[in-house]
């Protein structure tokens, strides 16, 4: 390769593959992440646990910021749930959604519309949840921040 010549890696296909058969939910709540996971576990019979192997590392302003990711697997299914904290020490994982506290990624079979709607309604019923809304990943400006 000649000096000064560079190539640009096209990552669009890998983003589409990562988000294939998935759903994103934006959540606004004043509850700390571990308490929010406990509430989700109790209400929806999930098993959200902190997974430090997939936490998101962003380097901004010559400093590392770690965004915790909680994971829950659905028994007898290929479906997995990931709950990302969108804030850490004043930095935001997805700046285009700066008012969102958590991003909930559901990978796999999300379920029928009614089942998903019921789950979303239950999440909205949790005390201190101000907003729970579906997000289309195509509107994410920083998709790469969610890929582990």
Segments in the chain forming alpha helices (H): 12-19, 33-44, 113-124
Give Rg (Cα) of the chain. 17
Q: b/e per residue, 56-92, with b = 16+ CB within 10 A?
A: bebeeeeeebebbbbbbebeeeebebbbbbbbbeeeb
pTM for the predicted model, two decimal places: 0.86
Edge to edge, what strands does the sheet with 49-50 contain? 49-50, 69-73, 80-85, 102-107, 22-29, 129-135
Whole-Å CA distances, 94 to 77, 83, 88, 146, 147: 29, 13, 11, 9, 12
The predicted-structure confidence for 81-113, as pLDDT tens digits, reads as follows 999 999 999 999 999 999 999 999 999 876 656
pLDDT (average), residues 46-60: 94
Q: Where are the domains of the chain?
A: 20-146
DSSP lists the bridge partners of residue 64 as: 59
For every residue of 105-131, DSSP letters joined together read EEES----HHHHHHHHHHHHTSTTEEE
- Is the pLDDT reported for residue 4 higher than 70? no
What average pLDDT is seen over the chain? 87
The predicted-structure confidence for 7-47, as pLDDT tens digits, reads as follows 555 565 677 788 888 899 999 999 999 999 999 999 999 99
Length reported for the chain: 148
Task: Show the tokens assigned to 22.
Answer: 């998935």
Query: CB–CB of 140/96 below 8 Å?
Result: yes
State residue 75's pLDDT score: 83
Confidence class for position 147, pLDDT limits 50, 70, 90: confident
């Amino acid at each position: 390769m000649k000096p000064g010549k560079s190539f640009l890696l096209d990552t669009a296909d890998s983003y589409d593959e990562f988000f294939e058969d998935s759903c994103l939910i934006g959540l606004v709540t004043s509850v700390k992440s571990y308490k929010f996971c406990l509430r989700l576990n109790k209400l929806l019979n999930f098993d959200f646990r902190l997974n430090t192997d997939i936490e998101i590392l962003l380097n901004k302003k010559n400093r590392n910021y770690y965004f915790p990711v909680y994971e829950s697997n659905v028994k007898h299914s290929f479906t997995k749930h990931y709950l990302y904290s969108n804030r850490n020490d004043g930095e935001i994982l997805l700046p285009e959604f700066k008012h969102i506290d958590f991003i909930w990624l559901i990978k796999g079979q999300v379920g029928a519309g009614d089942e998903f709607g019921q789950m979303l309604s239950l999440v909205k019923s949790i005390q201190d949840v101000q907003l729970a809304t579906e997000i289309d990943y195509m509107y994410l400006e920083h998709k790469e921040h969610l890929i582990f």
